[in-house]
Structure 1
Amino acid sequence: MSDMTLDRTTLVGAAPPTAARRQHSVIPGFGLTLGLTLLWLSLIVLIPLAALFVKTAELSLEQIAAILTAQRTLNALKISFGLSLAAAAINLVFGAVIVWALVRYDFPGRRILDGLIDIPFALPTAVAGIALTTLYAENGWIGSLLAPLGIKVAFTPLGILVALVFIGLPFVVRTVQPVLEDLDHELEEAAATLGAGRWTTIRRVVLPAVLPAFLTGFALAFARAVGEYGSVIFIAGNLPNISEIAPLLIVIRLEEFRYADATTIAATMLVASFILLFIINGLQRWSQSRTGRTA
């Protein structure tokens, strides 16, 4: 009888499984905030992107293929994506060096240098383009030094690369910096105590911890570079098939009232960017899961 009473009490007092798993927030409003979030994202992101694909879908496959296989379009896409990947890779290397110096060493002017990293964030892109063009032109401060060596930066694809590196560097630095600051120094000391050298400690201790942040910074720098327009058009020269970027070609097609061409190129850039970012995010999740298993 006591067992039956105990079982009945236990069953009656126990909360239903769904109720037990339900957690109520102290501050209500989940439905309202979720609805506003979806509404805002739809108005700002989803609806414009959907309109882009709807406009492109009005064309036949033959028309789309003709637009994308045009030599000028292929060269513009190649320049935009190729130089964006190159700029992101350069920023990944030199951004890591800058972060290491800012986090691990204390030297005069460190705070000033740390603040200068954010200048591309605040500087208008047109101002950045004019400044870079002035510096790297053949009669500029830096361009005049490179001209005798046969190196021409302004009005060439190299100038585009310089501009993309300039605007993408802060994304790598600001993404990796907090992760490296939170990395426990005792892990490195323990590795050194066990006989690991400097490069072994970096490769086996530091790099696995900051690799997801590196991939995130690389993705952000790449995404920023692909869509850059203002700082590039001043230093690029904008020569068709030579130094013309895809965003500029889209603007030119719009000015020519060739809206089908513009939307097709834009949709292609969007799809290609999504694919590359998806691959990078997949590598990031793989790195995080691998780091978790190692830990």
Structure 2
Amino acid sequence: MGDARRGILPGFGLSTGVTLFWLGLVVLLPLSTLGLETARLGPAQLWAVVTSPRALASYRLSLLASLGAAAVNAVFGFLVAWVLVRYRFPGKALVDALVDLPFALPTAVSGIALTAVYSSNGWMGRLLEPLGVKVAFSRLGVLVALTFIGLPFVIRTVEPVLADLERDVEEAAALLGASRGQVFLRVLLPAALPATLTGFALAFARALGEYGSVVFISGNMPMRTEITPLLIMTRLEQFDYAGATALASVMLGASLLLLFAVNRLQRLTRARAGMV
């Protein structure tokens, strides 16, 4: 008798072959060109390009702003997801639709809108600047733009997990004398932490390569508000393709290391949650 548990997709060999071919075509082939183009530079020239003061300043801003924006989104994205899952209120459908707006909105439009709002004559900027808070054309503006484009990743990742959590467990913990803080730390957070870390990693990866929404609000001042993607574009406009790919390779390596660390942390939190 034939195996009745036949899958919808073809066998392992064919499926794996198609998967590896597609990943190689879409992901590995384009990335391999970075190494080939960077190899045109000699070791001394490569080191001079990737460690120039301007490049180091752009690395620092891109990485720190991306990490900061992902951390902010992890906290407030969790809160927004909780409200959308657990409460009913007028306009909930509108709020739920607005969450996906950064996905659909072109990044250049986002940058122009944020610059108009937070500039010195914008309706938010004119209120903040007398208080000494300058958003547009500053590092804070970079953080705001990266937070804007990364928020949906955390919300849409955490929301299904919170929806699957049974309220009976929370009620049982409350009946046993647990405070609200203890219910959150002992019941909700362990279950939602892996999904929150996934959303954090997605938001970080999205922010690290962002260009369109940042280029307007940052002011693009070298050594101050210039992000690495903008520096790469500057070198491309100067037809310095080897230098641009060298900077891109540094950012690729840094992002892979950080994403690996986040994925490792996810596995540890899942394993710990399974033992509880």
> In the aligned structure 2, how far is the partner of 1:273 from the partner of 1:263?
15
Q: Aligned AA for 1:29? A: P
Match of 2:130 among 142, 148, 157: 148
Secondary structure of the 2:22 match is helix
| Aligned equivalent of 2:204, options 218, 222, 241 | 222
- Please report how far the alpha carbon of residue 26 of structure 1 lies from its aligned counterpart in structure 2 after TM superposition: 3.8
Matched, 1:123 2:105: yes
Report 1:52-131 matches (<5 A): 52-131=34-113
Asked if 1:282 corresponds to 2:264, the answer is yes
- State how many pairs are aligned: 275
Partner of 1:151, secondary structure, is coil
CA-CA distance at 1:23 after TM superposition: 9.1
Deviation at 1:24, TM superposition (A): 6.2
Shift of 1:71: 0.5
What is the deviation of 1:55?
A: 2.0
Q: Identify the range of structure 1 (92-101 vs 170-179) with the bigger mean alpha-carbon deviation.
A: 92-101
The aligned residue for residue 163 of structure 1 is 145
Query: Which residue of structure 1 lines up, in the alignment, with residue 236 of structure 2?
Result: 254
- RMSD of equivalent CA atoms: 1.7
What amino acid sits opposite 1:275 in the alignment?
L
Structure 2: distance between partners of 1:26 and 1:157: 52
- The 3 A distance-change label for structure 1 pair 215 and 33 is same
Letter in 2 for 1:231: S
Residues 268, 99 of structure 1: CA spacing in aligned structure 2 closer, same or farther, 3 A cutoff?
same
Structure 2 residue identity aligned to 1:69: T
TM-score (norm 1): 0.89
Deviations 1:97-147 (A, max 9, x none): 111211122111112111111000000101111111111111111111112
Report SS of the residue matched to 2:267.
helix
Matched, 1:181 2:163: yes
Structure 2: runs of 5+ lacking an equivalent? none
The alignment's TM-score, normalised by the length of structure 2, stands at 0.95
Q: Distance in 2 between matches of 1:139 and 1:264?
A: 39
Q: Deviations over 1:17-70 (max 9, x none)?
A: xxxxx9963445234443332222212110111111122234333222211210
Counterpart position of 1:204: 186
The residue aligned with 1:271 is 253
State percent identity of aligned pairs. 58
Q: Which residue of 2 is the match for residue 243 of structure 1?
A: 225
Distance, in Å, in 2 between the alignment partners of 1:136 and 1:247 is 22
The residue identity in structure 2 corresponding to 1:25 is R
Structure 1 counterpart of 2:271, one-letter code = S
Tell which structure's C-alpha radius of gyration is larger: 1
Greater displacement, 206-215 / 91-100: 91-100
Go from structure 1 to structure 2 and tell me whether the alpha carbon gap of 1:72 and 1:291 turns closer, same or farther (over 3 Å shift). Answer: same
- In the alignment, the residues of structure 2 paired with residue 25 and residue 42 of structure 1 have an alpha-carbon distance, to the nearest angstrom, of 28
Q: Aligned equivalents of 1:91 and 1:59: distance in 2?
A: 39
